[in-house]
Structure 1
Amino acid sequence: MWNMCSIVIVLMFSFLPGILGDYPFLNVSLPWDVRVDDLVKRLTLEELMVQMSKGGAGPQGGPAPAIDRLGIKPYSWNTECLRGDASAGPATSFPQSLGLAASFSPSIIFDVAQATGIEVRAKYTDFSSQGVYGDHKGISCFSPVINIMRHPLWGRNQETYGEDPYLSGIYAANFVQGLQGDHPRYLRANAGCKHFDVHGGPENIPASRFTFDAQVRERDWRLTFLPAFKECVMAGSYSLMCSFNKINGVPACVNDKLLWNILRQEWGFQGYVISDEDAIENMITYHKYFNNSIDAVAACVKAGCNLEVTTSNPTPAYFSMVDAVNKGVLSEDTVRERAKPLFYTRMRLGEFDPSAMNPYTQYNLSYIQNPAHRELAVKAAMQTFVLLKNDNNLLPLRKNFNNIAIIGPMADNLVQLFGNYNPDPDPKYSMTPLQGLQKLASQVNYAAGCSDNRCTNYSTDDIKKAVQGTQLAIVCLGIGLELESEDNDRSSMELPGNQSQLLQDAINFGNGAPVILLLFNAGPVNITMFDAEPRIPAILECFYPAQATGEALYNVLTMSVPGSNPAGRLPYTWYRTADQIPSMTSYTMEGRTYRYFQGDALYPFGYGLSYSTFQYLKMTFESVIVAGDPLFLFGQVENMGDVDGEEVTSTCTWADSNPIKSGRSLLTSWKDNLQLQERRCWGEYSLVKIYPPCSLNI
């Protein structure tokens, strides 16, 4: 990247005072590669070692220290930007990534990433002006997460874009471009796609992510786990994070095939690779792949891991870099080459240019939670909701109620609505379901029923008292941070504790009043019995909508504002039970995700209802194509309902010969906003590569 994207600033800058500085690396009229080479050659091997060892996190892990003799400031590489500026004080909190994937809208992911990048840059400007550097105070992001959701119980499903490699790649590209910006010279912030690669659980059940060895077949690796990362690279991401796990016996952060052959030789990546926290130390302590840090650092640097992330270890593995060079197992030239992408990135972020040249330095704290970003948070949340059931068109709610019940452990639990890697909740701009839905009735009875989302301490009497005599019960159930997150896999698909009993009690004590079930979770839960229950006419999957939960719910349940007709679609297969698919430790794709699953799912991938209905007409495509040629698809879609709505159109292929082994492949997916009775023609194409020749279904 750094040696291909050189931009020569016109010579008019050369006579402006303060522009050039004393060193060529500060001279803005020089090409990027010349500046990078000049800077890196001025650093001692010891200085390079420390710079490459301090990727964060924790009190010992970062920031990369200042180099005072050259006027180089400290730099923090560790900032979380998944859907808002996380762990750096209040910031606009957008829905969790899995919910954003349910929008089937690349543009909303672009907009969220753009707003996130603006707020991250604004805070960085403020922090750096005060001389404050450290974790979550920089503009180099450990985001997005583009691993494939392949098992319902993985704790980090919520951070992903779902189970489809094609869509995950599109979303990743939009995130990267939205976050980094479109300035020809400067980055707003830089993306870092993770976790590279073959990483999708387990966290802790039934094995530890620190010792896990993912055994993957080449076909699955190429068709499932690599495509989204390739799209991330093609979109211009400056960084990738290598994962904890082994891949076929070799840890990811020292995996030559992954980091060198595929990433750099096949894809042409010229950015930097950063390790996950303590991943290099883990090769010694957990994987037992190396006996000492000298061998570990030599192999990792040669394989292409540019930067180490440690937590509280005062002596990172990369602190053995000088010893490795002196021992002859690592060359100084290799070290210098690996350092260049780090300083190139910092240059493109504007660190070594006068701030007046960089428009992104003008962002200030007034951008944090500004009205446009708060409005986007509401819009994004509305687009994430997936309507799973709507018997007798109960929704949208069309009448005013005298009294309703809003119950359940997720009804007024703000923290559990955000998911992990979230910005710090700001009560001024956050709204729970209870707060947002209170205006549905003149009297609202509220009962959590449980002391927390685990629902081990449950009061039947509280629920009975809340629902008796009401006209409608809105039940808010789900999983939450303690039960699905980093380090925490779920043990089953069942609703936690007594939540199912709470829902049953709401039905039994409600005297026939309809029940609306709102679910706040990432991976699917077992609601097969409740899907078939006629006294629950409506079910809405909400994921983790974050700060705008209450407002977005009111808008969608009443369809009271434009864009509030639910148009979310499931980004994963909603299995009936976890027993329907192979275990989490098996990395074969056979029998899992919509591409290979042959069983009876409760809800299929792409499922989602609307308050309107749509009809497809005159769908045509070429019956014979040559491998590698475009496949053109044509058709019409019409809104047959009496309200405006959005329809998601997706096209898949699968082979006649062996659909289980070949799998389904998503060719295209897009969303149309159709007014009532509107008919729209569409035409799409996809590049199809088929070998050997075969017959395909579309």
Structure 2
Amino acid sequence: MVNGAPAIPRLGIPKYDWWNEGLHGVARSGYATVFPQAMGMAATWDTPLLGEIGTTISTEARAKYNQAMHDDLHSIYFGLTIWSPNINIFRDPRWGRGQETYGEDPYLTGRLGVAFVRGLQGDDPKYLKVAATPKHFAVHSGPESTRHKFNAQPSAHDLADTYFPAFRAMVKDADAASIMCSYNEVDGDPACGNKMLLQQTLREDWGFKGYVTSDCGAVDDFFMSYGHHYSPDAEHAAASALLAGMDLNCGNTYEVLTKAVKDGLVPESAIDTAVKRDFTARFKLGMFDPAEDVPYNRIPFREDDSAAHQALALRTARESMVLLKNDDSFLPLKPEGKTIAVIGPNAASLIALEGNYNAVPSHPVLPVDGLREEFHGAKILYAQGSSYAAGLSVPAPRTLFHPSDAAAEEGLKAEYFASSDFTGKPVATRVDAQIDFDWNGTLHPLAGLDGKAFSARWTGTITPPTPGDYTFGVWLANCYPCGDREHYVVKLDGKEVATFTSNEKEEARDSHTPDFHLNFTDTKPHAIEIEYAHSAPLFGAGLTLTWQPPVEALRAQAVKVAEKSDVVVAFVGLTSNLEGEELQVHVDGFAGGDRTDIHLPKEQRDLLEALGATGKPLVVVLMNGSALAVDWAQQHARAILEAWYPGEAGGTAIAETLEGKNNPAGRLPVTFYASTDQLPPFDDYAMKNRTYRYFTGTPLYGFGYGLSYTHFAYSDLQLSAEKLNAGDTLKVSAEVKNTGSREGDEVAELYLTPPKTDVSPIHALESFQRIHLAPGESRRVEFELSPRQLSQVDDKGNRSVDAGEYGIFVGGQQPEEGKGISSTFHIAGQQALPR
């Protein structure tokens, strides 16, 4: 009943670790296909695509599991219980983990989540492909700094209208095998010990038959000093969670349950119930049946990170692109014979592709490299331009390095050795543009290298932009569990300036090691050597050389590059080192993984303004996991493209979109507010004035917004009836035509405006379809609205179909005059609906 479940030899049951991640690729266990971060997947508004992604992730999870069983490996991150998707409602853009969700809308989240879970779990009538675990139940969306003790107190209306519907869909429509409960309290009881959530709602109201797992360490929060102060000790905490209906503990607190039974805190029958639920899942996964009886056991390891899966990652990245601005059709670019300046901290950053809870990409395409590949008829100039925010480190850019004094090529000479002590001849020698590598859990980082023991040496020159004292550092790959030996040495002009060796007994390690300083009295090339050695039973390889760049000098470099160019493409935004889960980041605009200000950080705003002052046309590409207020860019840039954290093929998809090979059709799954001032307090879980459904202000870009390189027109809206009885379904159809000169996708969005009450939404998304149309082509889109889609929730949390006049809108964004077509209909009577 703990995630690291030991073997039971007398029953022939091997040990099993329930903890595995598959948010947008199988994470932390070596190379796997890396799809765009979940927010980017949501921006596709493509339900069948989410199903394909889920299927692909489960195929790769099975491939890894099957190989692990062959190798007698029973480690964390190689199991078949996938703790995804994250379907919490992204109610506030300041939450750092919002990137992991499908956005702010309950309906969109539910439909995408259902498709993803079905793809994960497969369609075999007897066996689960993997067990999906939608999370975090419930009312969980920050702040990260107080998540272990925060008490969410939503109104009955908001609970039923916003926070519950997607989870209900996971149970009722997707038949999810498990659910993860959250850290926070809900109405005074910790979510993992909350009978209203786990018994009344999940099992009694929705009929859930699977198992409930805790978020990691959540039961510790019941009694630890930093937590809820809910239980006096571990025994009482474990008893409370078990009796509330939590079956599996990520952590070790449940190890005291034997004593809790002896002390009379819980009956043994409660343990029997939980164990039955846990083992039912393992039986459904085929873990105790003959291997030949389970069809998924035949998935070979070569299915992991296959060419077909990589192609799907590229398709997803293409579909996730959201065009926010395009003055006078400035995009697509016409690059032949032009010079393009590629500038910004995200132009050559691996983590900006990956997001968090990510798989490890075998062939990541950074944006600057994607543009060089796509725009082969243009000259590409690159400059980093700025850090992300004042005082933060950023990967050291390739422009600092050359493999030798005489080389014009950027980067460092790299030699890779098949030993952890640099002995023998290198198995590979090449030039690496920058030291920014993720090899976490990989069996073979390069051909001829064993991921358990290898070493690498980088040599060449470093040329500082100005004389001065520079702060550098090395980020190592996160590991949990560890048990590895990581060692590096940095030499400048032949003298050792930094060294580090990890503690092999560490159970976990974050990525940061102590900073070191390099002092330069000139701007001449200096010899640099970096040696890295890795040995580990399984996890933890990878490193990134970082620096804290001189702000003014870096910006001046970028301006010089811009002045030599015909057009500037600026890659700005965030990374999962700034927004994420419970991070140790406290700088202007950021706190503990969350944001305190939703504007683009000042250093990057200053960079954009300096680039704009050159007079060169400016295209801004945003890479981030949540909404950014980019008012200056909206006013001054010629075009703005939202690319999210786009996954392994992100650089290719961005370049193809800028060039026009990919016609963008993504839609925003969140509201882009104009400023932080438009938001209620972060820790207020009331939905009033939050998300497009209840926000009464004017956003920078609305939920559902996105432009195209072509144009679409809507006509002939038809309803199956103008008058319905409560409980009837409504069929809606409309004609959509591509009136432009390019083929492209359109997302037809259907919004319902209900009769007004004190708690009614302004309007709400109730259906959508993504379709492809050639120039001049028309297609009829059809929607069928169930009674539940035609219902709303009252102030007491009761859902019903109510009498009155309703509005229907179908178009390419939210209801707005001239952007779609609308009609009205009436419902007679009332029908109460189940919770």
Q: What TM-score range do you get, normalising by the shorter chain?
A: 0.7 to 0.9
Q: What does residue 156 of structure 2 align with?
A: 218
The CA RMSD measured in Å over matched residues stands at 1.5
- Residues 331, 359 of structure 1: alpha-carbon distance in 2 compared, 3 angstrom cutoff: same
User: CA separation in 2, counterparts of 1:659 and 1:638?
Assistant: 38
Counterpart of 1:543 in structure 2 is: 644
Alignment check: 8 A CA contact 1:453 1:478 kept:
no
**For 1:45-94, what per-residue CA distance to the aligned partner results, in whole angstroms no more than 9, with x for missing partners?**
xxxxxxx1x21xxxxxx2x1111111111111000011111011111100
User: What are the Cα deviations for residues 238-292 of structure 1, in whole angstroms up to 9, with x where unaligned?
Assistant: 1100000000111000100100001001111110000001101101111000112
Q: 1:434 aligns with which of 356, 368, 374?
A: 368
Offset at residue 402 of structure 1 (A): 2.6
Query: Hey, what does 2:690 align to over in structure 1?
Result: 592
User: Are 1:695 and 2:805 counterparts?
Assistant: yes
1:290 to 218, 231, 240: 231
What SS does the corresponding residue of 2:260 show, helix, strand or coil?
A: helix
Aligned CA distance change for structure 1 residues 223 and 401 (closer, same or farther; 3 Å): farther
Q: In 2, are the aligned partners of 1:657 and 1:695 still within 8 Å (CA)?
A: no
Deviations 1:618-659 (A, max 9, x none): 113233222221112122111100111111111112234347
Residue 454 (structure 1) shift: 5.7
Output the amino acid matched with 1:410. Answer: N
- Is residue 2:248 matched to residue 1:248? no
Distance 1:643 1:359 in 2: 44
Q: CA deviation at 1:506?
A: 1.2
Q: Secondary structure at the residue paired with 2:703? A: coil
Q: Which moved more, 1:332-341 or 1:603-612?
A: 332-341
Which residue of 2 is the match for residue 529 of structure 1?
Answer: 632
Counterpart of 1:678 in structure 2 is: 777
TM superposition shift of 1:451: 4.7
The gaps in structure 2 that reach 5 residues or longer are: 393-548, 583-592, 792-799, 809-835
* The one of 541, 552, 557 aligned to 2:653: 552
Contact 1:411 1:432 in 2 (8 A): yes
Task: Find the aligned partners of 2:679 and 2:722 in 1 and give their Cα distance.
Answer: 34
Distance of 1:293 and 1:403 partners within structure 2: 64
Q: Superposed, which structure 2 residues align to 1:242-321 within 5 Å?
A: 242-285=181-224, 286-310=227-251, 316-321=252-257
Q: How far apart, in 2, do the equivalents of 1:661 and 1:180 lie?
A: 36
Partner residue in 2 for 1:572: 670
Q: How many residues align?
A: 622
Q: 3-state DSSP class of the match of 1:196?
A: coil
Deviates most, 146-155 or 178-187: 178-187
Relative to total residues, which structure has the larger strand share, 1 or 2?
2
Aligned pair in 2 of structure 1 residues 68, 454: CA closer, same or farther (>3 Å)? farther
Matched residue of 1:638: which SS? strand
Give the AA of the match of 1:438.
R
Structure 2 SS opposite 1:195: coil
1:393 pairs, out of 329, 334, 342, with: 329
8 A Cα contact 2:563 2:616, kept in partner: no
> Within 5 A, what are the aligned runs for 1:608-623?
608-621=706-719, 622-623=721-722
CA displacement at 1:229 relative to structure 2: 0.7
CA distance, structure 1, for counterparts of residue 746 and residue 596 of structure 2: 35
Overall identity of the aligned pairs, in %:
38
Alignment correspondent of 1:500: 605
The alignment partner of 2:111 has SS state of helix
CA distance in structure 2 between the partners assigned to 1:598 and 1:625 by the alignment: 30
SS of 2:750's equivalent in the other structure is strand
2: distance between equivalents of 1:318 and 1:630? 47
Which whole-Å CA distance do the structure 2 matches of 1:94 and 1:245 have between them? 29
C-alpha distance in structure 1 between counterparts of 2:389 and 2:76, whole Å: 30
- C-alpha contact (below 8 Å) 1:152/1:578 kept by paired residues: no
Q: What's the secondary structure of 2:781's corresponding residue?
A: strand
Q: Following superposition of structure 1 onto structure 2, how do residues 290-689 of structure 1 map, counting pairs within 5 Å?
A: 290-310=231-251, 316-426=252-362, 429-439=363-373, 440=375, 441-451=377-387, 457=549, 458=551, 459-487=554-582, 488-509=593-614, 512-533=615-636, 536-560=637-661, 564-621=662-719, 622-658=721-757, 661-687=760-786, 688-689=790-791
Residues 662 and 378 of structure 1: CA distance in aligned 2, closer, same or farther (over 3 Å) = closer
Q: Offset at 1:508?
A: 1.2
Assess if the C-alpha contact under 8 Å between 1:455 and 1:497 holds in 2.
no
- Asked if the contact 2:633–2:640 (Cα under 8 Å) also holds between the matched residues in 1, the reply is no
- Are the aligned partners of 1:415 and 1:425 in contact in 2 as well (CA < 8 Å)? no
Question: Where does 1:144-293 land on structure 2 (aligned, <5 Å)?
Answer: 144-204=85-145, 208-234=146-172, 235-285=174-224, 286-293=227-234
Query: 8 Å contact 1:389–1:537 — kept in the other structure?
Result: yes
| Bigger fraction of residues in helix | 1
Cα shift at 1:559:
2.4
Which ranges in structure 1 are unaligned for 5 or more consecutive residues?
Answer: 1-51, 56-61, 311-315
Q: Secondary structure at the match of 1:444?
A: strand
TM-score scaled by length of structure 1: 0.87
Q: Deviations over 1:490-509 (max 9, x none)?
A: 12112224101111111112
Which residue in 1 is equivalent to 2:419? none
Alignment of 1:22-171 (within 5 A): 52=1, 54-55=2-3, 62=4, 64-171=5-112
Q: Residues 505, 682 of structure 1: CA spacing in aligned structure 2 closer, same or farther, 3 A cutoff?
A: same
Match of 2:484 in 1: none
Aligned equivalents of 2:39, 2:335: Cα separation in 1: 32
